[in-house]
Protein backbone atom coordinates (compact mmCIF):
# COMPACT_ATOMS: atom_id res chain seq x y z
CA UNK A 1 0.00 0.00 0.00
CA UNK A 2 1.33 3.39 -0.94
CA UNK A 3 1.48 5.96 1.79
CA UNK A 4 -0.40 9.15 1.22
CA UNK A 5 2.55 11.22 2.37
CA UNK A 6 4.03 10.61 -1.05
CA UNK A 7 1.54 13.04 -2.56
CA UNK A 8 3.40 16.20 -1.74
CA UNK A 9 6.85 14.93 -2.39
CA UNK A 10 7.55 17.26 -5.30
CA UNK A 11 7.82 19.93 -2.63
CA UNK A 12 10.78 18.06 -1.13
CA UNK A 13 12.96 18.69 -4.13
CA UNK A 14 15.41 21.14 -2.73
CA UNK A 15 17.43 22.22 -5.70
CA UNK A 16 20.63 20.90 -7.21
CA UNK A 17 22.65 18.56 -5.01
CA UNK A 18 19.25 17.50 -3.74
CA UNK A 19 19.88 13.87 -4.53
CA UNK A 20 16.81 13.73 -6.77
CA UNK A 21 16.66 11.99 -10.13
CA UNK A 22 14.31 12.76 -12.99
CA UNK A 23 13.25 9.85 -15.20
CA UNK A 24 11.61 10.97 -18.42
CA UNK A 25 9.67 9.05 -21.00
CA UNK A 26 10.45 10.40 -24.47
CA UNK A 27 7.54 10.22 -26.94
CA UNK A 28 4.63 12.31 -25.72
CA UNK A 29 6.74 14.00 -23.06
CA UNK A 30 9.77 15.52 -24.78
CA UNK A 31 8.62 15.21 -28.37
CA UNK A 32 5.26 14.86 -30.01
CA UNK A 33 3.96 11.33 -30.09
CA UNK A 34 4.53 10.07 -33.60
CA UNK A 35 1.18 8.29 -33.70
CA UNK A 36 1.54 4.71 -34.83
CA UNK A 37 4.88 5.42 -36.43
CA UNK A 38 8.35 5.75 -34.92
CA UNK A 39 10.67 8.72 -34.88
CA UNK A 40 13.17 7.33 -37.35
CA UNK A 41 14.88 10.53 -38.45
CA UNK A 42 16.00 13.68 -36.60
CA UNK A 43 13.61 15.73 -38.77
CA UNK A 44 10.71 13.80 -37.28
CA UNK A 45 11.67 14.68 -33.72
CA UNK A 46 9.39 17.61 -32.85
CA UNK A 47 9.69 19.09 -29.37
CA UNK A 48 6.42 19.59 -27.53
CA UNK A 49 6.05 23.32 -26.84
CA UNK A 50 7.62 24.14 -23.48
CA UNK A 51 9.58 20.89 -23.18
CA UNK A 52 12.87 22.28 -24.36
CA UNK A 53 12.48 25.28 -22.08
CA UNK A 54 11.65 23.05 -19.11
CA UNK A 55 14.70 20.91 -19.82
CA UNK A 56 16.81 24.04 -19.37
CA UNK A 57 15.32 24.48 -15.88
CA UNK A 58 15.36 20.90 -14.57
CA UNK A 59 19.14 20.82 -13.92
CA UNK A 60 18.43 23.38 -11.17
CA UNK A 61 16.34 20.79 -9.33
CA UNK A 62 17.67 17.38 -10.25
CA UNK A 63 21.11 15.85 -9.88
CA UNK A 64 20.47 13.31 -12.60
CA UNK A 65 18.20 13.41 -15.61
CA UNK A 66 17.69 10.28 -17.64
CA UNK A 67 15.42 9.21 -20.46
CA UNK A 68 13.77 5.78 -20.52
CA UNK A 69 12.07 4.98 -23.80
CA UNK A 70 10.39 1.93 -25.32
CA UNK A 71 11.45 1.69 -28.97
CA UNK A 72 10.22 -1.60 -30.31
CA UNK A 73 10.45 -0.19 -33.84
CA UNK A 74 13.98 -1.56 -33.69
CA UNK A 75 12.79 -5.04 -32.71
CA UNK A 76 10.27 -4.88 -35.54
CA UNK A 77 13.06 -4.09 -38.00
CA UNK A 78 11.47 -0.74 -38.91
CA UNK A 79 14.44 1.29 -37.73
CA UNK A 80 18.04 0.64 -36.81
CA UNK A 81 19.90 1.45 -33.62
CA UNK A 82 22.02 3.82 -35.64
CA UNK A 83 18.92 5.76 -36.68
CA UNK A 84 17.79 5.95 -33.07
CA UNK A 85 21.21 7.28 -32.04
CA UNK A 86 21.01 9.95 -34.75
CA UNK A 87 17.64 11.06 -33.40
CA UNK A 88 19.07 11.23 -29.88
CA UNK A 89 22.19 13.10 -31.00
CA UNK A 90 19.89 15.71 -32.53
CA UNK A 91 17.82 15.85 -29.32
CA UNK A 92 20.94 16.36 -27.19
CA UNK A 93 22.26 19.06 -29.54
CA UNK A 94 19.01 21.02 -29.16
CA UNK A 95 19.24 20.63 -25.41
CA UNK A 96 22.77 21.94 -25.16
CA UNK A 97 21.70 25.19 -26.76
CA UNK A 98 19.03 25.65 -24.07
CA UNK A 99 21.26 24.73 -21.15
CA UNK A 100 19.51 21.41 -20.75
CA UNK A 101 21.15 18.15 -19.88
CA UNK A 102 20.39 14.45 -20.16
CA UNK A 103 22.87 12.21 -18.39
CA UNK A 104 21.84 9.00 -20.09
CA UNK A 105 19.27 7.65 -22.52
CA UNK A 106 18.03 4.09 -22.02
CA UNK A 107 15.95 2.39 -24.66
CA UNK A 108 14.19 -0.93 -24.86
CA UNK A 109 14.35 -2.20 -28.42
CA UNK A 110 12.68 -5.56 -27.89
CA UNK A 111 9.22 -6.54 -28.96
CA UNK A 112 6.30 -6.12 -26.62
CA UNK A 113 5.70 -9.84 -26.10
CA UNK A 114 9.38 -10.79 -25.91
CA UNK A 115 10.97 -8.21 -23.67
CA UNK A 116 8.80 -7.67 -20.64
CA UNK A 117 11.84 -7.04 -18.45
CA UNK A 118 13.41 -4.13 -20.32
CA UNK A 119 10.28 -2.59 -21.75
CA UNK A 120 8.24 -0.40 -19.43
CA UNK A 121 6.37 -1.35 -17.29
CA UNK A 122 9.34 -3.66 -16.75
CA UNK A 123 12.16 -2.44 -14.54
CA UNK A 124 15.12 -3.25 -16.82
CA UNK A 125 16.01 0.28 -17.92
CA UNK A 126 15.69 1.55 -14.36
CA UNK A 127 18.03 -1.16 -13.10
CA UNK A 128 20.51 -0.22 -15.81
CA UNK A 129 20.34 3.40 -14.67
CA UNK A 130 20.86 2.34 -11.07
CA UNK A 131 23.88 0.30 -12.21
CA UNK A 132 25.37 3.32 -13.98
CA UNK A 133 24.47 5.77 -11.20
CA UNK A 134 24.47 3.78 -7.94
CA UNK A 135 23.48 6.87 -5.96
CA UNK A 136 20.03 6.83 -7.57
CA UNK A 137 17.36 6.40 -4.92
CA UNK A 138 14.00 5.53 -6.47
CA UNK A 139 12.21 7.08 -3.51
CA UNK A 140 13.93 10.33 -4.45
CA UNK A 141 13.05 10.01 -8.11
CA UNK A 142 10.32 11.36 -10.32
CA UNK A 143 8.92 9.35 -13.23
CA UNK A 144 7.30 11.46 -15.92
CA UNK A 145 5.31 9.82 -18.70
CA UNK A 146 2.21 9.92 -20.81
CA UNK A 147 1.18 6.29 -20.67
CA UNK A 148 -0.11 3.66 -18.32
CA UNK A 149 3.16 1.70 -18.40
CA UNK A 150 5.14 4.77 -17.29
CA UNK A 151 2.88 5.26 -14.29
CA UNK A 152 2.86 1.58 -13.43
CA UNK A 153 6.64 1.17 -13.25
CA UNK A 154 7.02 4.47 -11.40
CA UNK A 155 4.45 3.29 -8.89
CA UNK A 156 6.08 -0.12 -8.53
CA UNK A 157 9.47 1.45 -7.81
CA UNK A 158 7.99 3.91 -5.31
CA UNK A 159 8.88 6.91 -7.39
CA UNK A 160 6.86 10.11 -7.52
CA UNK A 161 4.75 9.69 -10.65
CA UNK A 162 3.82 12.52 -12.98
CA UNK A 163 1.32 11.92 -15.74
CA UNK A 164 1.56 14.24 -18.74
CA UNK A 165 -1.75 14.69 -20.48
CA UNK A 166 -3.79 17.45 -22.02
CA UNK A 167 -6.98 15.63 -21.08
CA UNK A 168 -9.08 17.60 -18.61
CA UNK A 169 -10.15 14.54 -16.72
CA UNK A 170 -7.66 12.40 -14.90
CA UNK A 171 -8.17 8.85 -16.19
CA UNK A 172 -9.75 6.96 -13.32
CA UNK A 173 -7.62 3.86 -13.74
CA UNK A 174 -4.51 6.01 -13.20
CA UNK A 175 -5.82 7.42 -9.96
CA UNK A 176 -3.87 5.33 -7.53
CA UNK A 177 -0.66 5.30 -9.57
CA UNK A 178 -0.22 8.89 -10.70
CA UNK A 179 0.61 11.43 -8.01
CA UNK A 180 0.39 14.46 -10.27
CA UNK A 181 -0.94 15.42 -13.67
CA UNK A 182 0.36 18.29 -15.77
CA UNK A 183 -0.33 19.42 -19.31
CA UNK A 184 3.32 19.49 -20.22
CA UNK A 185 6.84 19.65 -18.84
CA UNK A 186 6.90 23.40 -18.42
CA UNK A 187 3.83 23.15 -16.16
CA UNK A 188 5.75 20.61 -14.08
CA UNK A 189 8.85 22.79 -13.81
CA UNK A 190 6.69 25.80 -12.87
CA UNK A 191 5.04 23.74 -10.15
CA UNK A 192 8.37 22.64 -8.65
CA UNK A 193 9.67 26.20 -8.81
CA UNK A 194 6.60 27.55 -6.98
CA UNK A 195 6.58 24.73 -4.42
CA UNK A 196 10.18 25.51 -3.59
CA UNK A 197 9.57 29.23 -3.26
CA UNK A 198 6.72 28.58 -0.83
CA UNK A 199 8.54 26.01 1.24
CA UNK A 200 11.59 28.26 1.65
CA UNK A 201 9.57 31.21 2.99
MG1 LIG B 1 5.24 8.11 -24.14
Range of the domain at 142: 4-199
CATH classification at residue 152: 3.40.50.1000
- At 7-39, the pLDDT tens digits run 568 888 876 678 999 999 999 999 999 877 899
Confidence bin at 196 (pLDDT 50/70/90): confident
- Are 147 and 12 within 8 A, CB to CB? no
Is the per-residue pLDDT at 175 higher than 80? no
- pLDDT at residue 114 in the model: 87
Q: What is the 36 CA–ligand 1 centroid distance (Å)?
A: 12
**Rounded average pLDDT over 90-118:** 94
Q: What was the pLDDT predicted at 3?
A: 44
Chain centre distance of CA 133: 16
Higher pLDDT, 7 or 183: 183
**H or E stretch covering 22:** strand 21-24
Q: With cut-offs at 50, 70 and 90, classify the pLDDT of residue 50.
A: very high
What's the full length of the chain, in residues? 201
Under a CB-based contact definition with an 8 Å cutoff, are residues 27 and 45 in contact?
no
The secondary structure element, H or E, covering residue 106 is: strand 104-108
How many whole angstroms from 128 Cα to the centroid of ligand 1?
19
Return the percentage of the chain with pLDDT > 70, whole number: 90
User: 68 CA to middle of ligand 1, Å?
Assistant: 10
List of residues 6+ apart from 107 with CB closer than 8 A: 68, 69, 70, 71, 74, 84, 125
Instruction: Write out pLDDT tens, residues 131-145.
Output: 999 999 999 999 999
8 against 65, higher pLDDT: 65
**pLDDT reading at 171 higher than 70:** no
The answer to whether residue 4 scores a pLDDT higher than 90 is no
Q: Which of 12, 25, 63, 146 is catalytic?
A: 25
- CA of 197 relative to ligand 1 center, distance in Å: 30
Nearest in space to 145 (alpha carbons), one of 157, 133, 158, 154: 154
Residues near 33 by beta carbon (within 8 Å), at least 6 away in sequence: 27, 146
Distance 146 CA to ligand 1 centre (A): 5
User: What spacing in Å lies between the alpha carbon of 80 and ligand 1's midpoint?
Assistant: 19
Predicted pLDDT of residue 197: 72
Q: How far is the CA of 150 from the centre of ligand 1 (A)?
A: 8
Per-chain mean pLDDT for the chain: 90
| Catalytic status, residue 190 | no
Q: How many domains does the chain have?
A: 1
Q: Residue 2: what pLDDT?
A: 47
Whether 60 is catalytic is: no
Q: Which of 12, 27, 179, 190 is labelled catalytic?
A: 27
Amino acid sequence: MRQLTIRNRLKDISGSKSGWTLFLDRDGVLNRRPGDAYVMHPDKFKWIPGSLEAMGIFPDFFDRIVVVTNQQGIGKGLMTEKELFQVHAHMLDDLKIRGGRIDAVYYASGLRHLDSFNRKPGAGMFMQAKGDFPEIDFRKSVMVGDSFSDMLIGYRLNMVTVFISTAKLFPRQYGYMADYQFYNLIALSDYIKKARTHSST
